[in-house]
């Protein structure tokens, strides 16, 4: 059986990732593709519950290293599920993943390579769709500022770290300025179709960049 496609949607806060992952799932369903959405952080697992408290309660202190390792551990909680869905021929859509993990923590000043280390060995996406907005736009969107990391200067640093992945083979930047939700959805769908139509090699895993 051909394995499924591992798709990842990434981007800064309030760039429309959740809207687009939902819309991608609907299109996959209409197309007869059996697909599962996994959003990180997955806040319902034992580690996810700690992460949720950390993100929503500024009085809950963790060192940057501890927070980083929890986000990575949260991905490892789901790693076997992702791998087995793919091996069963299912498509998996990830709303944030390793790239957010590395970008947010290295933006705090932790070394980039150190940030990637605990994620080495996790399934690597066939395609990463990085939603790119002008900085000013995501910070004026409704809801921005509700959680720990939603501060404009910090978002700029995160963007710089995300862009260190842009030369990776699986990376596609989706420019979303002045585009409707439908137009962005079409760009994502086109990129997905190209990837899905290619012959798939064995699942890849994260290694050193």
| 10 binding ligand FDM? (CB under 6 A) | no
Q: Which residues in 35-56 are b (16+ Cβ under 10 Å) and which e?
A: bbbbbbbbbeeebbebbbebbe
Q: What is the DSSP letter of 119?
A: G
Write the binding mask 14 to 53 for ligand FDM: x where contact by CB under 6 A, - elsewhere: --------------------------xx------------
Phi, psi of 10 (to 5 degrees): -130, 165
Residue nearer to ligand FDM on the CB measure, 91 or 100: 100
| 149 binding ligand FDM? (CB under 6 A) | yes
| 99 binding ligand FDM? (CB under 6 A) | no
| Whole-number Å distance between alpha carbons of 144 and 139 | 6
| 104 binding ligand FDM? (CB under 6 A) | yes
Q: What are the DSSP E strand ranges found in the chain?
A: 6-11, 35-39, 91-95, 127-132, 171-175
The CA-based dihedral angle spanning residues 193, 74, 138, 26, taken in that order and rounded to the nearest 10 degrees: 30
Q: What part of residues 150-209 is at the interface with ligand FDM (CB under 6 A)?
A: none
Pick from 24, 28, 71, 192 the residue near ligand FDM by CB under 6 A.
71
Using the contact rule CB under 6 A, the part of the chain among 30-38, 97-105, 138-146, 170-178 near ligand FDM is 97-105
Residue 185 CB contacts under 8 Å (≥ 6 apart), including other chains: 20, 23, 24, 27
| Whole-number Å distance between alpha carbons of 204 and 87 | 12
- Residue 138 Cβ, how far from ligand FDM at the closest point, in Å? 11
- Residue 90 Cβ, how far from ligand FDM at the closest point, in Å? 21
Residue nearer to ligand FDM on the CB measure, 101 or 125: 101
Q: Name 8's bridge partners.
A: 94, 128
Using the contact rule CB under 6 A, the part of the chain among 84-92, 93-101, 166-174, 185-193 near ligand FDM is 93-101
Residue nearer to ligand FDM on the CB measure, 71 or 206: 71
Q: Which residue in 149, 163, 1 sits closest to 87, CA to CA?
A: 1
| 101 binding ligand FDM? (CB under 6 A) | yes
Residues forming the site for ligand FDM (CB under 6 A): 13, 40-41, 55, 71, 96, 100-101, 104, 147, 149
């Amino acid at each position: 059986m051909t394995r499924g496609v591992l798709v990842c949607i990434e981007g800064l806060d309030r760039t429309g990732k959740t809207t687009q992952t939902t819309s991608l799932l609907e299109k996959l369903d209409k197309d007869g593709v059996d697909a599962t959405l996994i959003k990180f952080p997955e806040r319902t697992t034992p580690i996810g519950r700690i992460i949720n408290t950390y993100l929503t309660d500024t009085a809950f202190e963790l060192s940057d290293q501890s927070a980083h390792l929890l986000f990575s551990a949260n991905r490892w909680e789901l790693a076997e599920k992702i791998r087995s869905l793919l091996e069963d021929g299912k498509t998996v859509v990830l709303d944030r993943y390793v790239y957010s993990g590395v970008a947010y923590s290295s933006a705090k000043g932790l070394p980039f390579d150190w940030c990637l280390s605990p994620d080495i060995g996790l399934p690597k996406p066939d395609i990463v769709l990085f939603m790119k907005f002008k900085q000013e736009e995501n910070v004026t969107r409704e809801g921005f500022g509700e959680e720990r990391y939603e501060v404009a200067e910090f978002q700029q640093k995160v963007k710089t770290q995300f862009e260190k992945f842009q030369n990776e083979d699986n990376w596609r930047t989706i420019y979303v300025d002045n585009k409707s939700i439908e137009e962005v959805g079409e760009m994502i769908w086109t990129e997905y179709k190209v990837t899905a139509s290619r012959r798939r090699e064995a699942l890849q895993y994260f290694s050193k960049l």
